[in-house]
Amino acid sequence: MKKKIIGALTALAVVLSFAATKPKNKVLIFSLTKGYHHASIADGITAIKQIGEREAFEVDTTTNPALFTDANLKQYKALIFLSPTGNDLFNADQQQAFVNFIHKGGGFVGIHAATDCLYTWPWYGQLVGAYFVKHPKIQQAQLQIVDHKHLSTKTLPDTWLHTDEWYNFKDVSSKLHVLIKVDEKSYEGGTMGEEHPIAWYQQFEGGRAFYTELGHTAEDFKTDTLFLTHLTGGIKYALGQK
């Protein structure tokens, strides 16, 4: 009897030890701006923290590139680039830690101006999927959902009227799986034609990358339930959920 009790306690200790060391669902929001600073960043941080509470993942935030080390990044499952801007955001060691994170299976979420930074780092351009060129005035446009199977789009309507700052892109990767396009006939200032991507995802060098161009306005993060549903699905994809 004593041996059975000892055996049961030993098994319980192993289970508890595994539970204590099992990696948590945890994300790091990076929002350093050395160019234009979007006022919606603060609202985005608040919204992502609220999403984390509902979806059971923890959220850290930073504008400090010194946190991009192998030792620090290993605690996270995904990095969220919330409208950072500027070219010289990371030194060589920090860049390598970022690369290592993706190569080890980490997730990446790019929101809005995540395509308006790091133009001189080709690896990042391939990860995020494209670079921003210019945009017209903020206006309403019609979005077309291309793929309803993804976590970020499965509950969205086929067409979606949305007001935002519509980016035109360059250096669009041929490896992207496009999720949403914008109909350039529905607004003024589009330069990409019929195939104008707005949101996409890809498997990238061992990791997962999701990008949405939406998120310029504070209202996106405060009151737009369709956008918040879209963003939630993108984060869940980056965390490896199916």
pLDDT digits (tens, 9 = 90+) for 6-32: 444 444 443 344 334 444 799 999 999
Parse the chain into domains and list their residue ranges. Answer: 23-238
Q: Which residues sit opposite 197 in a β-bridge?
A: 181
DSSP E strands in the chain: the ranges are 26-30, 58-62, 78-82, 107-111, 131-134, 139-145, 159-164, 168-170, 177-183, 197-204, 207-212
Angle (deg, nearest 10), helices 225-238 and 41-55: 70
Q: What confidence tens digit (pLDDT) does each residue in 132-190 have?
A: 999 999 999 999 999 999 999 999 999 999 999 999 999 999 999 999 999 999 999 99
pLDDT exceeds 70 at position 58? yes
Pick from 85, 42, 49: nearest CA to 218: 42
Provide the pLDDT for residue 242. 81
> Which pTM value belongs to this model?
0.90
23-238: what fold? Rossmann fold (3.40.50)
Tell me: pLDDT of 196 over 80. yes
What are phi and psi for residue 211, nearest 5 degrees? -135, 140
As a whole number, the mean pLDDT across the chain is: 92
Q: How do residues 201-227 score in pLDDT, each as one tens digit?
A: 999 999 999 999 999 999 999 999 999
